[in-house]
Amino acid sequence: MADPLRLRPEDGPDFEAVLRLALGTADVREALGADPTGRAAERLRLRALGDADGIAVAARAEYGAYLAARTSARSGPPSHPVTGSLLPALAVLTPLVAAASAAVLLVLGYLLRLADTASALPGSLITAGWILTLIAGTSALLAFAALLRTAVRGGDGSAHSARTRRARMDWHQALLHQGMLPHLRRYLREEPFPHSAPPPAVRPSHPHDAHTTSNPEEHPSHVGQHEQRPADQPQ
């Protein structure tokens, strides 16, 4: 049989958070409140921390699902740093530079043509301007596609994060109800903490005193009188 999943060190704070929540439940808090020294909660907390792996076994299925979701979320982002830095800058700058250059060349070309310049320069400027206009349009479409791809990847990352949070909450709930609370209640049954001392009861009277007070005729002062009564009667 496979060994149970052991609690990872990075999940220790989550375990302690669930432990604090369990110590605050009504029945556990009431049992701990009966300890007049106030050290019961700390002893119980230390014992639960010492048995962390044994407590976590009760929720190992949910813990395994949480680890899988967390690993998937960590391996989801792309491992190409150039894509996140250089390409977005080029995608934004290329259409702007191409459009500005195209506008300048077209304006110069048409102005020279209106001036009836006999050289081939106006035609060349106008042709270059339209080529740059085509480049600006194409680069703008590519930039839009890159932004759309980034948005889609961001949506995938959000979905991974949501699944990880959901798996973590499911593990917390299973750890609390299937592992933590049953163990704490068993600890309380195995090691009951001292309750407050009851109020002192009234000390019962000594049997001889009770007998004396309930039967006053047998008091020594009455015994002699009882024995002397027949002698005082007339013959």
Average pLDDT over residues 66-93: 68
Distant-in-sequence, close-in-space partners of 30: CB < 8 Å, separation ≥ 6: none
35 phi and psi angles, rounded to 5 deg? -85, 115
Distance CA 4, CA 67 (A): 14
Distance CA 131, CA 102 (A): 8
Q: Which pLDDT belongs to residue 85?
A: 55
pLDDT classification of 212: cutoffs 50, 70, 90: very low
More confident: 230 or 34: 34
Residues 3-38 pLDDT 10s:
456 889 999 999 999 999 999 999 988 888 877 777
pLDDT classification of 171: cutoffs 50, 70, 90: very high
Determine contact, residues 90/178, Cβ cutoff 8 Å. no
Determine contact, residues 185/48, Cβ cutoff 8 Å. no
194 phi and psi angles, rounded to 5 deg? -60, 135
Residues 43-77 pLDDT 10s:
899 999 999 999 999 999 999 999 999 988 877 55
Determine contact, residues 127/106, Cβ cutoff 8 Å. no
**Got the DSSP string for 169-229?**
HHHHHHIIIIIIHHHHHHHHHHSPPPPPPPPPPPPPPPHHHHHHHH-GGGSHHHHHHHHHH
Determine contact, residues 59/66, Cβ cutoff 8 Å. no
